[in-house]
């Protein structure tokens, strides 16, 4: 396993490294060269000395290396990093208001009206390269759920919990990039997801901090960006991405250098896309499953498997309203809305979310399955099915859909859906749109979907 972390300790008063390994190892790379762990430590100490006194901070840095520095500098000052569900200014202002004394830290130049926003200096100050030790019970971060059904709910994460979940993630991905001939080598990592998202934080911040991986400092978005980032890597990189970005890469026809593997999350990955990506890029596509509440707790090779394999120590208990997840890094079981079927070998199959289940005229369906059938219509490039808030005269909440399907109209798509969908679940209205309002991780905020339908 490409891990340099020690096993998590049960002693909450103990302290462990924020960034582990040989001081000469590379922790970050990019077009302007590599950064060693020793330099990283010096810059973390330098930035920490200049931070304002505060209980919490929102890390808004776009440059992934500067995010790492600010994240660890805040931890060294005893400050909690807040991870809002969005970086929209209104959301940032709301989180700052809910956490008195907190501030925002980024790569921007603060304006006169932004008294609680600070910018990192262009040239990061350096102090010494002493180890970066933090107590295991330190509250390192608070992730917020999207709040689609109410106010965003905070999910606190201690350093011990992050260390435990990172050990699991390293074990779950190690066979993608471990080279038996070079067991101590550093694997490059490129991520298309922002570090402010829990998946992005786990895979592009905690892995390079605690494992033998070096992360690219950028956040490539378009296929050409990914290709340029791959060209900066000294060895085949691990690509951490989403189904939306992966679909764009496959459809673009772009040639990428050899990859160690591809990791996908944030939205369901279809088996067809996984197979196409494996053929196109000559490596395994591994999907991981988790949430802000739980972090990653399962994995599968979607091209060949429909069932998920829980990570070591994870137990799932199906319940009428969802599934209880027990894991070594969770202080207590977390109940998710996902409905699962646990098989005899311990693996599990997803059957949608509790809130996605539909029952009309005594018949049942799920929004997830209806969306899959919409995407299976030839010519539909992207789409989603959702249930509206308002009900008709019979008290039934209507089903609607948005589809990205150049060359098709709504009537043509509905005719195709009639072949696979019961008439009571046919979406009306169904609107064809140029693009869906996906956020930076590929998810579809309900408010944005409803606004698009209204327009």
pLDDT tens per residue, the chain (455 residues)? 333 444 444 454 688 999 989 999 999 999 888 999 999 999 999 999 999 999 999 999 999 999 999 999 999 999 999 998 777 788 888 888 889 999 999 987 655 445 688 899 999 999 988 889 999 999 999 998 764 444 668 899 999 999 999 999 999 998 998 655 444 578 999 999 999 999 999 999 999 999 999 999 999 999 999 999 999 999 999 999 999 899 999 999 999 999 999 999 988 898 999 999 999 999 999 999 999 999 999 999 999 999 999 999 999 999 888 899 999 999 999 999 888 999 999 999 988 776 677 777 667 788 888 998 999 899 999 999 998 887 665 567 889 999 999 999 999 999 999 988 988 889 989 999 999 998 877 788 888 899 999 88
Q: Does residue 77 share a domain with residue 223? A: yes
Do the domain assignments include residue 356? no
Q: Which residue has the tokens 């010096």?
A: 42
Q: Does residue 290 share a domain with residue 392? A: no
Give me the residues paired with residue 264 across strands: 241, 287
Do the domain assignments include residue 322? no
Q: Which residue has the tokens 């922790």?
A: 27
Q: Does residue 245 share a domain with residue 375? A: no
Q: Does residue 243 share a domain with residue 117? A: yes
- For position 434, which CATH number holds? 3.30.300.30
Q: Which of 375, 383, 427, 421 is nearest to 402 (CA)?
A: 383
Rounded alpha-carbon distances, angstroms, from residue 322 to 244, 315, 341: 26, 14, 11
Q: Which residues contact 328 (CB under 8 A, 6 or more apart)?
A: 8, 164, 168, 312, 313, 314
Do the domain assignments include residue 444? yes
Do the domain assignments include residue 192? yes
Domain with 373, as residue range(s), is 361-454
Single residue among 261, 288, 305 that ends a domain in this structure: 305
Do the domain assignments include residue 247? yes
Phi and psi of 191, rounded to 5°? -125, 135
Do the domain assignments include residue 402? yes
Single residue among 305, 330, 353 that ends a domain in this structure: 305
Number of domains in the chain: 2
- Give the separation between CA 280 and CA 282, rounded to whole angstroms: 6
- Give the separation between CA 340 and CA 144, rounded to whole angstroms: 24
Q: Does residue 294 share a domain with residue 408? A: no
Collapsing DSSP states into helix, strand and coil, what is residue 32?
A: coil
Q: Does residue 297 share a domain with residue 369? A: no
Q: Does residue 380 share a domain with residue 298? A: no
Do the domain assignments include residue 441? yes
- Give the separation between CA 387 and CA 394, rounded to whole angstroms: 15
């Amino acid at each position: 396993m490409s891990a340099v972390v020690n096993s998590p300790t049960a002693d909450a008063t103990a302290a462990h490294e924020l960034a582990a390994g040989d001081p000469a190892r590379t922790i970050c790379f990019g077009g302007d060269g590599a950064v060693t762990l020793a330099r990283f430590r010096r810059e973390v100490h330098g930035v920490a000395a200049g931070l304002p006194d505060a209980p919490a901070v929102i890390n808004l840095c776009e440059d992934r290396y500067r995010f790492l520095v600010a994240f660890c500098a805040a931890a060294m000052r005893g400050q909690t990093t807040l991870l809002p569900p969005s970086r929209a200014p209104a959301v940032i202002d709301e989180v700052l208001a809910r956490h008195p004394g907190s501030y925002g830290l980024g790569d921007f130049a603060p304006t006169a009206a932004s008294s609680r926003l600070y910018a990192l200096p262009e040239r990061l100050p350096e102090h010494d390269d002493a180890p970066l030790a933090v107590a295991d019970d330190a509250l390192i971060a608070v992730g917020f759920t999207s709040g689609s059904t109410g106010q965003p709910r905070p999910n606190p994460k201690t350093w011990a919990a992050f260390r435990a979940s990172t050990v699991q993630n390293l074990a779950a991905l190690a066979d993608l990039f471990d080279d038996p001939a070079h067991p101590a080598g550093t694997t490059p990592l490129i991520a298309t997801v922002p570090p402010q998202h829990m998946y992005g934080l786990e895979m592009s911040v905690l892995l390079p901090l605690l494992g033998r991986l070096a992360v690219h400092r950028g956040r490539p978005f378009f296929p050409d960006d990914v290709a340029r980032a791959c060209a900066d890597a000294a060895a085949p990189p691990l690509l951490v991405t989403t189904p939306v970005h992966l679909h764009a890469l496959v459809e673009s026809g772009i040639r990428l250098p050899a990859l160690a593997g591809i990791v996908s999350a944030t939205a369901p990955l279809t088996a067809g896309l996984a197979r196409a990506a494996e053929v196109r890029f000559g490596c395994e596509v591994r999907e991981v499953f988790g949430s802000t509440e739980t972090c990653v707790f399962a994995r599968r090779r979607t091209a060949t498997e429909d069932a998920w394999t829980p990570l070591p120590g994870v137990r799932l208990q199906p319940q009428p309203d969802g599934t209880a997840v027990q894991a070594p890094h969770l202080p207590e079981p977390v109940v998710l809305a996902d409905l699962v079927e646990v098989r005899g070998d311990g693996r599990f199959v997803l059957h949608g979310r509790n809130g996605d289940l539909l029952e009309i005229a005594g018949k049942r369906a799920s929004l997830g399955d209806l969306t899959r059938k919409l995407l299976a219509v030839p010519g539909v490039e992207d789409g989603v099915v959702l249930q509206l808030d308002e009900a008709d005269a019979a008290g039934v909440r209507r089903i609607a859909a948005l589809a990205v399907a150049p060359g098709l109209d709504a009537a043509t798509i509905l005719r195709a859906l009639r072949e696979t969908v019961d008439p009571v679940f046919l979406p009306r209205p169904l609107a064809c749109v140029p693009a869906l309002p996906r956020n930076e991780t590929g998810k579809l905020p309900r408010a944005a979907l409803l606004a698009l339908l209204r327009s």
